[in-house]
């Protein structure tokens, strides 16, 4: 087994066929087919199933693909560590995070990052925590900005910001005449929340479970940008970070209130794979977050 065989195997999976993989790698389809056959003979198992010009991973192939991601990441890390100096002339940085983070915090960070390092190729992927963590582990994303806690032996986590969460409603909602609510105001009130399993949802659930009220959850949504218009038309109220509604509050299209005696917060952190050596493009984005994040935090007045 050699790296070229693994490169061909990974290209087939990503491109969807032997023909497309050949075009990507500039080699003939027959050459790729021959190398995959040799790879399977050496492993003693079939890693790909061929059907109607399409390919599918076997269980053994899925296991091999995970190791391919790790192997090529280690090779890239080794090359960077040996050859990289303190001047970033080229490279890439892949960032992932939730919708609210990518909408309200990340653009300011990336604008400054691009100004300082214009030759670094930046890509951003939005998604919930679990898919983002999987992409980090598979070396598809270099760094994620996620709601904490994130605890795993193979990941490195640095807390960067604490956001206050508030109750948000339409200006026409009966509760919108007040800036502070009691816990009882939430009893049986229709709630539109983040989907179950997200860390932000868990914070809200822990709060509600500790109160003598009944949660009337009528909708569960993946991200804050879907929740806000549903709240705006009066279908229910929600509990989300204040940072995500600053524009709407200023425009008068949404109203917020705190819960008396029960401040709610969520922590955001930077999540990366644990490595012996952190590539300089990644080092620089971590440093930039620490420099800028306090200036970007908006607190409820």
Taking every pair of Cα atoms in the chain, the longest distance, rounded to a whole number of angstroms, is 73
DSSP class of residue 174 equals: G
Which tokens belong to 192? Answer: 């539109």
Question: What's the confidence (pLDDT) of residue 87?
Answer: 52
Which tokens belong to 256? Answer: 């917020």
pLDDT tens, 181-220? 999 999 999 999 999 888 999 999 999 999 999 999 999 9
Please give the Cα distance from 234 to 284 (Å, whole number): 43
Mean pLDDT of all residues in 127-134: 90
CA distance between the termini of the chain: 62
* 278 backbone dihedrals φ, ψ, rounded to 5°: -100, 120
Give the domains, in start order, of the chain with CATH numbers. Answer: 3-82 (1.10.10.10), 87-161+267-296 (3.40.190.10), 164-266 (3.40.190.10)
Reference 266, options 167, 200, 183; nearest CA is 200
Q: Given a cut of 60, is residue 58 above it in pLDDT?
A: yes
Task: Evaluate whether 268 touches 289 at the Cβ level (below 8 Å).
Answer: no
Q: Which residue has the higher pLDDT, 78 or 57?
A: 57
pLDDT tens, 17-27? 888 888 888 88
Mean pLDDT of all residues in 74-102: 74
Q: Which residue has the higher pLDDT, 236 or 75?
A: 236
pLDDT tens, 145-184? 999 999 999 999 999 999 999 999 999 999 999 999 999 9
Confidence of residue 81 (pLDDT cuts 50, 70, 90): low
Please give the Cα distance from 31 to 11 (Å, whole number): 13
Please give the Cα distance from 168 to 253 (Å, whole number): 11
Please give the Cα distance from 66 to 139 (Å, whole number): 10
**Core vs surface per residue 234-259: b (16+ CB within 10 A) or e:** eebbbbbbbbbbeebbeeeebbbbbb
Task: Evaluate whether 275 touches 155 at the Cβ level (below 8 Å).
Answer: no
DSSP class of residue 266 equals: E
Element (H, E) at 60: helix 59-83
The pTM of the full predicted model, rounded to 2 decimals, is 0.71
Please give the Cα distance from 298 to 295 (Å, whole number): 8
At a CB cut-off of 8 Å and minimum separation 6, what does 261 contact?
none
- Residue 101 burial (CB count, 10 A): 24
């Amino acid at each position: 087994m050699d790296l070229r065989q693994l490169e061909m195997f990974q290209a087939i999976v990503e491109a969807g066929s032997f023909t497309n993989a050949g075009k990507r790698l500039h080699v003939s389809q027959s050459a790729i087919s021959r190398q995959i056959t040799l790879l399977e003979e050496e492993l003693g198992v079939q890693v790909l199933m061929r059907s109607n010009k399409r390919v599918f991973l076997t269980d053994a192939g899925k296991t091999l693909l995970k190791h391919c991601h790790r192997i090529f990441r280690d090779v890239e890390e080794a090359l960077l560590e040996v050859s990289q100096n303190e001047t970033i002339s080229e490279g890439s940085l892949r960032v992932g995070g939730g919708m609210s983070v990518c909408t309200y915090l990340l653009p300011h960070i990336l604008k400054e990052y691009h100004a300082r390092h214009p030759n670094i190729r930046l890509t951003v992927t939005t998604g919930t925590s679990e898919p983002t963590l999987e992409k980090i582990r598979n070396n598809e994303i270099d760094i994620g900005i996620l709601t904490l806690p994130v605890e795993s032996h193979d990941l490195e986590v640095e807390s960067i910001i604490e956001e206050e969460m508030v109750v948000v409603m339409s200006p026409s909602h009966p509760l919108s005449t007040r800036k502070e609510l009691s816990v009882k105001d939430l009893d049986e009130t229709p709630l539109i929340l983040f989907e179950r399993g997200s860390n932000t949802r868990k914070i809200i659930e822990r709060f509600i479970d500790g109160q003598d009220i009944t949660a009337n959850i009528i909708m569960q949504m993946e991200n804050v940008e879907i929740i806000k218009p549903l709240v705006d038309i009066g279908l229910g109220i929600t509990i989300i970070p204040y940072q995500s509604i600053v524009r709407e509050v200023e425009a008068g299209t949404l109203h917020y209130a705190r819960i008396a005696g029960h401040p709610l917060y969520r922590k955001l952190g930077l999540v990366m794979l644990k490595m012996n050596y952190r590539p300089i493009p990644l080092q620089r984005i971590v440093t930039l977050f620490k420099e800028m994040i306090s200036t970007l935090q908006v607190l409820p007045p």
